[in-house]
Structure 1
Amino acid sequence: MTQDENELLKLLFPNGYPDEWNSNSTFSEYITKLGSYNVDELVKEPNKLKEEQIATTEHTQELAVSNYKTFIQTSQCSKDLFNRFNTIELDLFKLLENIPTFEQKCQTFAVETNDINTLRKLNSLTLTRNAQLLEILELPQLMDSFIKDGLYENALELASYVRRLYTKHSDIPIFKSILNDVEKSWLVMLHQLLSQLRSDLTLPKSLQVVGYLRRMEIFTESELRLKFLQARDTWFQNCLISISNEDTTYHLNKTIEITRVNLFIIVTQYRAIFNDDEHSPLSEARNSNINQNIIFFGWIRNKITQFLTILENDLQKGVSSIDSVLGQCMFFGLSFSKVGCDFRPLMVKIFTKVISKHFQQSTSNATKNFEKNMEKFTLINRNHPSVPWRMKSTDPIQPPDSLIEFYPLADYLNNILTSFNDLRLCPPITIVCDVVDCLETSLLTVCKAIVTLYAQERQAFNSNSKDAFTRLCISFADDLVPYLQKCIHIIFPPNIITAHLGVNVQQLQKENISFLNKVKIIEPIKHLLPAKIEPVLSEISIEETIKDNENSEIMLNASEEVKIEE
C-alpha cells in the first residue's frame, strides 16, 4: 500500500486491524476506492455500508433458512475433517518417528539384496563350473571304488592329490570335508592291506603290499616291521590250528613240515622286504638308537620256542617213529642255520628226555609184567627139561636158549629187547647212564622176585625143584645179565663213548658207564648160586666183543618166544 493509504487506515482504524486483511485483495481495492470518494460520498458511505450489511445479513439468513441442512452437513463434515486431520497428524508424527527405522531397514535390505546378488552370481558361476565341481565332490566315492577294486596304486595317487588340494585351499570347508572322507577310506585301505598280509602271500605280492604300506606313511620303519611280522604270524598260527590233532604222530609231522616251510617263507619275505644292515643310512636316519634286527630275531626266537613246546608235548604223548621225527627236526634246524637260527642244540634235551622217559616206562612195564608172571610161576615138581638149552648158538646176539625153560625170564627179555629195539633207532649217548641205572633197578627187582619165589616154595622143593631153581638163578646171573650187557654195548659202543669222553674202556668199566653192576644186581641171590670163579673182562676182550657185534641187529622174533607148559 501507498503512504496515503496507510494514513487513511490509521484514521479509519485507530485501534488497529488484523494483519491478514493486508493480504486480502478486496480490502485493498476497497481502500483504494474509498480514497477516491469526496466528502458527500464519504458521509453517505456509512449508511450505504450499513444497508449493505443489513442486506447481506438478510440474505445470509435467507440462505441459512433455505440451506440449513447443508450447513449442518457442512459442519459435520468439517468436524469429521478436523478429526481426520488430527488422526492424519498423529499418523504423520508416528511416520516421522518410524522413518529412521525404516531407513535403516531399507539400508539393511539393500545390503542383503547385494549379498543375494553376489550369491546369485556365485550360483551362476557354480553352474558354469558344475562339471569340475562334480569331479571334486566325487573324489571320496572314487577313492572307495579304487579300494574296493584293489587299485591301491590309483588310491595312493588320488589321496596325494586330495592332500595337495587341501593344502592349497585349506580355507574352504568343502575341501576339509573331502579330505576327512578320503582319510576314512584311507583307514579302510590300511585294514585291507593288513588283511592281505594275514593270508597266504607270494613274495612278489608281499613286496607289493608292504610297498603300499610304506607309501601310506602311517607306520615308522620299526612299526612296519612289527606289523608285518604280526600279520604273517596270524597266518602262520591259523595254519597250525588247522592241523588235526587226533593222531599225535600226524600232528607232529605236519607241524614240523608246516612250521619249517611257512617260517622259511616268512623269513625269506622279511629279508627281501626289509634291510637288515645295521649301518645302513636309512636305518641311521630314521632312528639311530634302535637295532631293528632285534625285532626279527626276537620274533623268530618266539616261533622256535613255540615249536619246541609243541614238539615236547607231542613227544610226551607218544609217537610211532621217534627217529623219523628226529630226522625231520634236525633237517628243520639245519635249514634255519642259513638264516642264523640253528636251534638243533635246543632239541637235544627234549629228545633225550623223551627217549629216556620212554625207555624207563617200557622197562617199568616189563618189570611189572615179570612180577605178575612170577605170581603164577612155580618150580614145584619141575623136571629137567628135555630141550638142549645149553647148546651154544653161532649168532653172537642170539638170546640165551636157557631162558626158554623159564618163561617169566623169557617174556621179560622179550619186553626188554622190544625197548632196546625202540631205543636202537635213536640212541643218544647222553642217556647211557640213565639206561644202565634203569636196567639195573629193573634187574634188581627181578632178582628180588626170584628170592621171593624161593622163600615161598623152598619148603615144598624136592631135588628136581632145587635143580630147577639153581638153573633159574644161573640163567639169570650168567645168561640174562651178560646178554643184556652185550645189548647195551651194541646200542652204545664203548669205543664211541670213550672217543667222546677221552678215557679208556677200563675207566668206563670202573665208573660203571655203559656197564651193568653185576655184583650189585645178583647180590640178593648170591648165596643161592653155585660157587665159581668169575673171569676178569679185559679191555682187549671187550673191544673184540664189541667189534663182532657192532653191526648186528637186536631182534627177538615172535617165533623165538617159547611159552613153557607147566
Structure 2
Amino acid sequence: MTQDENELLKLLFTNGYPDEWNSNTNFSDYISKVGSYKVDDLLKEPNKLKEEQTIVSEHTQELAVSNYKTFIQTSQCSKDLFNRFNTIEIDLDKLLKNIPSFEQKCQTFAAETNDINTLRKLNSLTLTRNAQLLEILELPQLMDSFIKDGLYENALELASYVRRLYAKHSDIPIFKSILNDVEKSWLVMLHQLLSQLRADLTLPKSLQIVGYLRRMEIFTETELRLKFLQARDTWFQNCISTIPNEDATYHLNKTIEMTRVNLFTIVTQYRAIFNDDEHSPLSQVKSDVNQNIIFFGWIRNKITEFLTILESDLQKGVSSIDSILGQCMYFGLSFSKVGCDFRSLMVKIFTKVISKHFQQSVSKATKNFEKNMEKFTLINKNHPSVPWKMKITDPIQPPDSLIEFYPLADYLNQILTAFNELRLCPPITIVCNVVHYLEESLLAVCKAILTLYAQERQAFNSNSKDAFTRLCSCFADDLVPYLQKCVHVIFPPNVIAAHIGVNVQQLQKENISFMNKAKIIEPIRHLLPVKIEPVLNETTLRNEGDVVDIVSKNEAVNEE
C-alpha cells in the first residue's frame, strides 16, 4: 500500500485492524476505491455499507434457513476434516521421526537386493554350466568307483588331475573339499594295495602293485622296500601258521618245503622289483640307509626263525632224520643262488640233536640194564647152554656169549638200536661225544656188575663163581670190543684220519673214536683173568670197519 492509503486506514480504523487484511486483495481494492471517492460519496458510503450489510444479512439468513442441513453437514465435515488433519499431522510427525530408519532400511534392502541379483546371476550361470560342475562334484565318487573296481591306473590319473585342479583354483573352497575327499579315497587305495601284498601273488602282479605304490609317492624307496618285505612276511607267516603241529615230522617237512618255496618266491619278487645294481637309477637316490642291509637283514631273520623251528621240532623227536637233513641241505644250497647259503648254521643244530638223541638212547639202555640187574642172580647158575667163544665169521655179528646173560644182551640190543639210528646220519663231529657217552654207560654197567658181586658173593658156589667170571669176561672181552667195533663201522678211523689230516695211530693215541677200555673195566679189573692186550695197528683197524656197504654209505654221508 501507498503512504496515502496507510494514512487513510489510520483515519478509518482508529482502533486498528487485523494484520491479515493487508494480504486480502479485496481489502486493498476497496481502500483504493474509497480513496478515489468525493466527499459526497464518502458521506453516502456508511449508509450504503449498512444497506449492503442488511441485504447480506438477510440474504444470509434466508440462505441459512433454506440450507441449514447443508451448513450442519458442512460444519460436521469441517470438524471431521480438522480432526483428520490433526491425525495426519501426528502421523506426519511420526513419519518424520522414522524417515532416517526407513532410509537406512531402504539402503539395506537395496544392498540385499543387489546381492540377490548377483546370486541370481550366479545361479543362472551355474544352471548353464550344470553338466561341467556335476562332473567336478562327482570326482570323489568316481575315485571311489575306480578303487572299488580295482582300476588303480585310472584312480592314479584322476588323483593327479584333482591335485592340478586344486593347485590352479586353490582359492575356491569346493576344490579343497573335493581334494580332501579324494585324499581319503587315496588312503583307502593304499590300504587295498598293501592288503593285496599280504596275499599270494604272482611276480607280474607284485610288480604291478609296487608300481602303483611308487606312483602314489607316499613312501620313499627305503620305506617301500620295508613295506614290501613286511607285507610279504605277513603272508609268509600266515602260510607257516596253517601247518598242523601235532606231528613234529609232518610239521617240519611241510615247514621246510613251504619255507623254501615261499621264501624263494619272495626273494625273486624282491630282486625283480628293487634293483640293487649300483648303476641303476634307483640306487643313485641319496639315502642314509644301506638298502642291501634291509633285504639281507630280513633274510637273516627268516633263516633264524626257520632254524628255531627246525631245532624245536628236532628236539620233539622226528623220524627219518637223514631225510630231514637232506631236505635242509637242499634248502640251504638253493639259497646260495641269492647269497644266503646257511647250511653251516644247520650243522650245529643237527649234530646237537643227533648227539642228544644218542645220549638219551644210551642213558635209557643203561637204566634198563640197572633195572634188569636188580632182578638178575647168579646163584645156582648152571653151565651155559649156548656155544661159548664160537668163531665169528661176520665182523659185525654180535657175540653169542651175551645170550647167556640177558641183561647184557638186552643192553646190547638197545645200544645197537641207537647205533642203527645214528648210522643213518652220523656226523663226524660228534664221534668224541658218542665215545664219551658209551664210556659213561659202560662204566655204569661195570659198576652194576660189581654191585651184583657185592650182594651175592657170600652165597656163591663154584658154578656161581664161574658164571660171574664168565659175566665179567663177556663184558670186558666181548661187549666192550664189539661196541668199539660198531663205533668204527659207523665212524671209520681212516675216514676220520683223512678228515682231520692225521694217521690212525695218532687217533688211537688221542683216543679219538677209541674208547678207554682200561678206564671202563677198572672197577672189575681185579675180578678178571690176567690177559695181555694186543696193540692194534692201522691194518687191523681198517679191517674192523671193512663192511663195504655200511662204510661207503657213511663216507658218502660225511662227505655230504
Per the alignment, residue 556 of structure 2 pairs with none
The one-letter code of the counterpart of 1:479 is: D
Q: Return the alpha-carbon distance in structure 2 between the equivalents of residues 281 and 261 of structure 1.
A: 30
Which digits, 9 at most, give the CA deviation of each residue in 1:343-393, with x for residues without a partner? Answer: 111111111111111001000111111112222222222222233232212
Q: CA deviation at 1:71?
A: 5.9
SS in 1 for 2:512: coil
Per the alignment, residue 488 of structure 2 pairs with 489
Per the alignment, residue 439 of structure 1 pairs with 438
Per the alignment, residue 378 of structure 1 pairs with 377
Per the alignment, residue 160 of structure 2 pairs with 160
Q: Return the alpha-carbon distance in structure 2 between the equivalents of residues 461 and 37 of structure 1.
A: 206
Q: Return the alpha-carbon distance in structure 2 between the equivalents of residues 153 and 36 of structure 1.
A: 119
The answer to whether the 8 A contact 1:389-1:404 is kept is no
Superposed, 1:109-508 pairs within 5 Å as: 109-278=109-278, 280-287=280-287, 289-508=288-507
The answer to whether the 8 A contact 1:490-1:550 is kept is no
More deviation, 514-523/371-380: 371-380
Superposed, 1:61-72 pairs within 5 Å as: none
Q: Say if 1:434 and 1:550 are closer, same or farther in 2 by CA, change over 3 A.
A: farther
The answer to whether the 8 A contact 2:351-2:430 is kept is yes
Q: Return the alpha-carbon distance in structure 1 between the equivalents of residues 490 and 401 of structure 2.
A: 23
Superposed, 1:550-565 pairs within 5 Å as: 551-552=549-550
More deviation, 21-30/214-223: 21-30
Q: CA deviation at 1:132?
A: 1.2
CA RMSD between the two structures: 2.3
Aligned length: 552
Q: CA deviation at 1:400?
A: 0.9
Q: Return the alpha-carbon distance in structure 1 between the equivalents of residues 132 and 298 of structure 2.
A: 51
Superposed, 1:479-558 pairs within 5 Å as: 479-546=478-545, 548-549=546-547, 551-552=549-550
Q: CA deviation at 1:278?
A: 4.8
Which digits, 9 at most, give the CA deviation of each residue in 1:316-335, with x for residues without a partner? Answer: 00001111111111111111
Per the alignment, residue 560 of structure 1 pairs with none
Which digits, 9 at most, give the CA deviation of each residue in 1:283-322, with x for residues without a partner? Answer: 34342x2211111111111111100110010000000111
Q: Return the alpha-carbon distance in structure 2 between the equivalents of residues 472 and 58 of structure 1.
A: 190
SS in 1 for 2:285: helix
The answer to whether the 8 A contact 1:485-1:516 is kept is yes
More deviation, 85-94/330-339: 85-94
Which digits, 9 at most, give the CA deviation of each residue in 1:517-539, with x for residues without a partner? Answer: 10111111111111222212233
Matched, 1:37 2:55: no
Which digits, 9 at most, give the CA deviation of each residue in 1:500-555, with x for residues without a partner? Answer: 33333222222221111101111111111112222122334323433x2364479x
Q: Return the alpha-carbon distance in structure 1 between the equivalents of residues 2 and 440 of structure 2.
A: 173
Q: Return the alpha-carbon distance in structure 1 between the equivalents of residues 403 and 4 of structure 2.
A: 192
The answer to whether the 8 A contact 1:371-1:446 is kept is yes
The answer to whether the 8 A contact 1:143-1:158 is kept is yes
- 1 or 2 for the larger relative contact order (CA 8 Å, sep ≥6)? 1
The one-letter code of the counterpart of 1:435 is: V
Q: Return the alpha-carbon distance in structure 2 between the equivalents of residues 208 and 372 of structure 1.
A: 69
Q: Return the alpha-carbon distance in structure 2 between the equivalents of residues 2 and 410 of structure 1.
A: 179
The answer to whether the 8 A contact 1:190-1:213 is kept is yes
The one-letter code of the counterpart of 2:141 is: Q
Q: Return the alpha-carbon distance in structure 2 between the equivalents of residues 290 and 140 of structure 1.
A: 37
Which digits, 9 at most, give the CA deviation of each residue in 1:403-424, with x for residues without a partner? Answer: 1111111111111011011111
The answer to whether the 8 A contact 1:391-1:401 is kept is yes
Which digits, 9 at most, give the CA deviation of each residue in 1:404-449, with x for residues without a partner? Answer: 1111111111110110111111111111111111101110111111
The one-letter code of the counterpart of 1:45 is: E
Q: Return the alpha-carbon distance in structure 1 between the equivalents of residues 22 and 366 of structure 2.
A: 164
The answer to whether the 8 A contact 1:384-1:464 is kept is yes
The alignment's TM-score, normalised by the length of structure 2, stands at 0.93
Q: Return the alpha-carbon distance in structure 1 between the equivalents of residues 2 and 549 of structure 2.
A: 176
The alignment's TM-score, normalised by the length of structure 1, stands at 0.92
Q: CA deviation at 1:80?
A: 4.1
More deviation, 100-109/472-481: 100-109
The answer to whether the 8 A contact 1:278-1:292 is kept is no
Superposed, 1:100-115 pairs within 5 Å as: 100-115=100-115
The answer to whether the 8 A contact 1:359-1:419 is kept is yes
Structure 1 runs not aligned, ≥5 long: 555-566
Superposed, 1:46-85 pairs within 5 Å as: 46-53=46-53, 56=56, 77-85=77-85
The answer to whether the 8 A contact 1:278-1:291 is kept is no
Q: Return the alpha-carbon distance in structure 2 between the equivalents of residues 493 and 194 of structure 1.
A: 57
Q: Say if 1:212 and 1:281 are closer, same or farther in 2 by CA, change over 3 A.
A: closer
SS in 1 for 2:472: helix
Q: Return the alpha-carbon distance in structure 1 between the equivalents of residues 352 and 285 of structure 2.
A: 49
The answer to whether the 8 A contact 1:509-1:515 is kept is yes
Q: Return the alpha-carbon distance in structure 1 between the equivalents of residues 325 and 183 of structure 2.
A: 53
More deviation, 129-138/413-422: 129-138
Q: Return the alpha-carbon distance in structure 2 between the equivalents of residues 242 and 99 of structure 1.
A: 89
The one-letter code of the counterpart of 2:299 is: I
Structure 2 runs not aligned, ≥5 long: 553-560
Q: Return the alpha-carbon distance in structure 2 between the equivalents of residues 552 and 388 of structure 1.
A: 28
The answer to whether the 8 A contact 1:493-1:550 is kept is no
Q: Return the alpha-carbon distance in structure 2 between the equivalents of residues 376 and 26 of structure 1.
A: 175
Q: Say if 1:32 and 1:532 are closer, same or farther in 2 by CA, change over 3 A.
A: closer
Q: Return the alpha-carbon distance in structure 1 between the equivalents of residues 550 and 293 of structure 2.
A: 50
Q: CA deviation at 1:33?
A: 3.7
Q: CA deviation at 1:279?
A: 5.9
Q: Return the alpha-carbon distance in structure 2 between the equivalents of residues 215 and 445 of structure 1.
A: 73
Q: Return the alpha-carbon distance in structure 2 between the equivalents of residues 94 and 445 of structure 1.
A: 131
The answer to whether the 8 A contact 2:370-2:448 is kept is yes
Which digits, 9 at most, give the CA deviation of each residue in 1:178-225, with x for residues without a partner? Answer: 111111111111111011000000000000000000001111111111
Q: Return the alpha-carbon distance in structure 1 between the equivalents of residues 384 and 36 of structure 2.
A: 206
Q: CA deviation at 1:266?
A: 0.4
More deviation, 8-17/174-183: 8-17
